[in-house]
Structure 1
């Protein structure tokens, strides 16, 4: 398993390895943040958002973010697509949920934690989707040598 993993990562161009590493860091941070929110507040951790659909989505990120991490760590194409889908929904949900706050205090967008980094990371993930999809498509597992039976 370790050899195959090294081959999959090693089969990627340097830029793709860096992009995948940024994905891993971003989604690990997101997973940890959502786990901590759930530990602190339980299922009501996101009660500040009046929309139940947003609350449910943010809770689901405690499962989706780690799933992206696993798929990306194994350099799987579905992980690249799932990462983009999660980030489109995450950025949209954060903007919808924080719209009133943003209208009241537009300078709050410039805070280093919150809406700005989530939006920038989401744009990065979506912008890298097609190139990363193409390069991960080129990485195929090599057939294993079959030992002759005696």
Structure 2
């Protein structure tokens, strides 16, 4: 049985508390906000994690797993705060992802130890396509 939107919000709130953020740091929506903010719909006994803007859908992920859904919801938030931290603590001549990526992995692990491996695999895939390149940041 799928969790309701209110139950999902409660689970998300528990997770963000684990990394030091207050409840509702992430707001879970059940309808489009028309600004690209993801929302959750329930179709065919599956969670649909959808992003759309002004009526145009540009992303849809579908799962039966509440764990997978919670990962998707929290990973976007964790990425945002990790890159914000990097921006505020930028090191000239150093690829900013060297700061943000380990922070992402650490925060995801604090919320759910199994997510550490998942986050690491996603980052490894990103780095295989776009390796660190400190030379791009010499003049920042």
* Larger fraction in strand: 2
Larger radius of gyration: 1
Is the pair's TM-score, using the shorter chain for normalization, greater than 0.5? no
Q: TM-score range by the shorter chain?
A: 0.3 to 0.5
Calculate the TM-score normalised by the size of structure 2: 0.32
* Higher relative contact order (Cα pairs below 8 Å, separated by 6+ residues): 1
* Larger fraction in helix: 1
Calculate the TM-score normalised by the size of structure 1: 0.31
